[in-house]
Amino acid sequence: MSDTENLDKPLLERSTRRKDRKGLYQKPRVRCLWGSGFILFWILLFLAVVVPLFHRVPSPKTLEDASKGVFIAERAMDNLYNLAKIGPKVVGSDNNENKTVNFLLGEIALIQEKVLDEYFDIEVDLQQVSGSYIHWTMVNQYQGVQNIVIRLSPKNCTSKTYLLVNSHFDSKPTSPSAGDAGQMVVIILEVLRIMSTTRQTFTHPIIFLLNGAEENPLQASHGFITQHKWAPFCKVFLNLEGGAGGGRELLFQTGPNHPWLVEYYKMHAKHPFATTVGEEIFQTGSMPSDTDFGILIKYGNLIGLDMAQSINGYTYHTKYDTYKIIPSDSVQSMGENVLSLVQALSNATELHNTEALAKGPSVFFDVMGLFFVSYSNSSGIILNYSVGIVTIILIITSLCRMAGVSRSTVHNILGRFLLILVTQSVAFVLGVTLPILMANYFDKFGLSLTYFTTRELLFGLYVCSSLLGLLLPSYVFLKLPRNRKISFGQQLQMILHAHAIVLAILVIGLTLYGLRSTYVVTWTLIFHVLALAVNLMTSFHDRDISWTGAVISFQVISFLYNNYLLYTLVRALIAMMGRFGRSTNPDLIMAAMNALGTVLATGFLVPLVNIFRRPGVMVITLSAVIGLSIWTATCTHLGFPYRPQTNVERVPYLHVRRTFYEYDGTVSKDDSGYLFNFQDRRGPAPLEGTSVNLTGLVGIAAQCEEHMMCEVPLYDHRWVKNRMNAMWLPRKELIDPPLVPKVQLISKIVLADKITVRFKFTINVTDHTSLFIQPFEYVNITNWSFPLAYIGQQTTYHVYFSHGKDSTPLSFFIELSKTNGDFNVPLFQLGVCGHFIGDKGDELSQEFAKSFPDYAVLIEWPTSYQRFIF
């Protein structure tokens, strides 16, 4: 190039480029110190903006503010203290059926005394209800469970459309349930208090449902929505759940298919916290949780919003879910949201005809709690395709412009770009797969969940692995000999274009698949497209690295949101990894989530490291951080998952007495042992080397292949689902349960068709009893007392039964058919499991429980199992 030609080049490019001995232009070199500042800037941005905004909640209001008609956290916390003090509230227990119900009715009576009678009517109904339905793979049958139902109506109201606000007061075994869902119950009480004592008006009556059997699971809400006198008038609901304690509550299910509900949340939630990503993750069914949301939709044809506390779920469903772990500011935050939504929805004209407003699902998300974005899924599809197409068009325009500026042919530019596209595709794949390979490596050696307590290890193990995968291909590529006519800056710009092409293809593909969470990729791409458009409209595009200014400026927004979403998912899901079961490697979930979040948050930033001198230092630094994290996770106590009280290992097990009766009534087996259902990937491994004696502990998978339900008293549908991973520890001394359910065969009658026989039974059940029924070969169940639709769904039928106030013995019949009409032979097996939740067991069982380490939280009780052949 002549001196005259060089004068045509922009000053910045001429000042930052120099020729090597072969006459090729070298890349511009910005001082390495600036590179360190570049990295530090993004780290500080995350710590100074994302983390504080994620944890931002309002200050709790006190009784001094009571006259203002606002939510008062102090009053709600006082109620929570007294509610949690009752202790565990398992269905059928005195705590749940009497103490808790009486406490809540007392608080409601105090509210009734202060109701503005000239404005409102308030009615309270204590419902006791029985029923059954098919839930997952079992019949879920309940008897005498209780609901406290309050109707608050404007004076002389004639509206026949109601708003329902629901939560539950029962608990899992051993749990005082302050978080799940005591805090929601007291929020409802406080909202009821404010709504009934504030001089205001609303159109639709409000039903406040405090249901007494959600953990059982979901029985009381089913009883209300299918049988209560006010249920047919309910059109829209708010379901309040507690998956943890602290922070803001996450809106994680909406509708379904009613965007106007999301718009109401957008307009009226004072502290928005929601994402379509959370909704789609939850609705895959992979999360170890369920809520009343599905029951109210399926059996009541309602629509609603499902909100739950999701931060600090380590104590969820354990004895440590106490009053002291619930911050009053988080109660204030949720209380303000619920109060505002109740006030808005109770005046919503949409309740009059909700069916006409079904217009498909929504795309929604909050931006760091500052504001809320929502639009219909159809609009989202148009936006996704448009952004993908515009991205491709602008990149083609940019490449053509590069050809003109560099005085190269378009063919030459496109050839180089295709090579870079392959390189950047490799970077994308490495950015996602390296963390996943790391997760597989740890799991292979029994080291999953190392991050469970030390969350910082997620950064070193997965985020840095992803960053290294993103950086390496571009670093190596730019070290290779370059095209004489294409500058370093242009090649670097092509790398970002290539990453954008990968994301554009991903957007189009995920949209075709129907994933609403595609919005995350779309908006990431939008901010790069905006930067590219600015550069194309100015001369920055043609200068060697001046275009990076617009890229960095727009990427600030993308970086903040993507990291905010990643941080949200990590904080919400990390505790769940400790109860995900043994069959799934939770590290794969955390690795994939961190990898995708890192790729989206930094995919356009990582290649810019190459503009600084010695970019290899970053490669070495990342490798060193990864190595240090591996050493920390594997060789120090920081990598051990569990801590006492705060980050516990859940150890559910049953003290089992098994008795097997043959067809002639003789006993073929009578033994005892402990049945373990470990809830995390490591299983019994963390207990090895402690004082607990697990000698003889074996898996029961082999039994499951040969015997009905593994010949053990599996507690509920989750235990049944996880039975192949359950373990049995034999015990020499027989366990003597408090009560052995008595199975009485009332009658056995051959029906008129001569090929059908009818058995009738009565069993004096415990408050939690499971029945397993398995016909022998050539025998079919044709009719019974349970839901008929369940017949034929399973090879072994599971009836989960529980009772609240009504302890009447369970009576049922079964009709079986056999083509040869020979009913004097074995026809079916019946397994009867009686659970004694809340009983500590015999002295030997109590000594065994005391031998566990302090980081293990036990969920255990005696159980009897009887197997009969009829």
* pLDDT tens-digit readout, 164-187: 999 999 999 999 999 999 999 999
Whole-angstrom Cα distance, residue 151 to residue 202?
Answer: 13
Give the phi and the psi of residue 739 in degrees, each rounded to 5: -155, 135
pLDDT at res. 708: 97
- The mean predicted confidence, pLDDT, of the chain is 94
Angle between helices 616-635 and 464-479 (to 10 degrees): 150
Per-residue DSSP letter, 25: B
Alpha helices in 273-355 (DSSP H): 276-282, 292-300, 328-345
> What pLDDT sits at residue 544?
81
CA-CA distance, 186 to 192, in Å (whole number)? 10
Q: For residue 587, which of 726, 447, 431 has the smallest C-alpha distance?
A: 447
Min mean pLDDT across 288-292, 493-497, 526-530, 769-773 is at 288-292
Q: Which of 6-20, 390-404, 507-521 has the lowest mean pLDDT?
A: 6-20
**For the stretch 233-266, what's the b/e string if a residue is b when 16 or more beta carbons lie within 10 angstroms of its beta carbon?**
bbbbbbbbbbbbbbbbbbbbbbbbebbbbbbbbb
Strands 649-661 and 856-869: parallel
What residues pair up with 747 in beta bridges, in sequence order? 760
According to the model, what pLDDT value does residue 13 have?
Answer: 39
Task: Report whether pLDDT(760) > 50.
Answer: yes
Q: In terms of Cα–Cα distance, which of 659, 639, 658, 561 is closest to 602? A: 561
Identity of the residue numbered 220: A
Average pLDDT over residues 594-622: 94
> Averaged over 362-371, what is the pLDDT?
96
Confidence of residue 320 (pLDDT cuts 50, 70, 90): very high
| For range 726-754, the mean pLDDT | 96
**For residue 216, which amino acid is it?**
N
Interatomic CA distance for residues 308 and 338, integer angstroms = 11
Average pLDDT over residues 679-694: 96
Among 33-42, 366-375, 452-461, 556-565, which stretch is predicted with the lowest mean pLDDT? 33-42
| pLDDT of 614 | 86
Give pLDDT, residue 409.
87
pLDDT digits (tens, 9 = 90+) for 56-79: 999 999 999 988 899 999 999 999
pLDDT bin (cut points 50, 70, 90) of residue 310 is confident
Which residues, other chains included, contact 551 with Cβ-Cβ below 8 Å and sequence gap of 6+? 496, 528, 531, 535, 604, 608
Residue 2 pLDDT? 40
Give the residue-averaged pLDDT of 337-346. 98
**DSSP string computed for 191-231:** HHHHHHHSS---SS-EEEEEES-STTTSHHHHHHHHH-TTG
pLDDT at 699: 96
Integer Cα distance of 754 and 68 in angstroms: 75
Per-residue pLDDT, 33 = 67
- The 10s digit of each residue's pLDDT in 436-474 is 999 999 999 999 999 999 999 999 999 999 999 999 999
**How does pLDDT run across 86-106, given as a tens digit for each residue?**
999 999 999 999 999 999 999
Q: What is the mean pLDDT of residues 772-799?
A: 97
Please report the pLDDT score of residue 573 as a whole number.
Answer: 94
| Furthest CA-CA distance within the chain | 110
**pTM for the structure as a whole:** 0.93
> With pLDDT > 90 as the criterion, what percentage of the chain qualifies?
89
Question: 545 or 297: which carries more pLDDT confidence?
Answer: 297
Structure tokens, 587: 């590290």
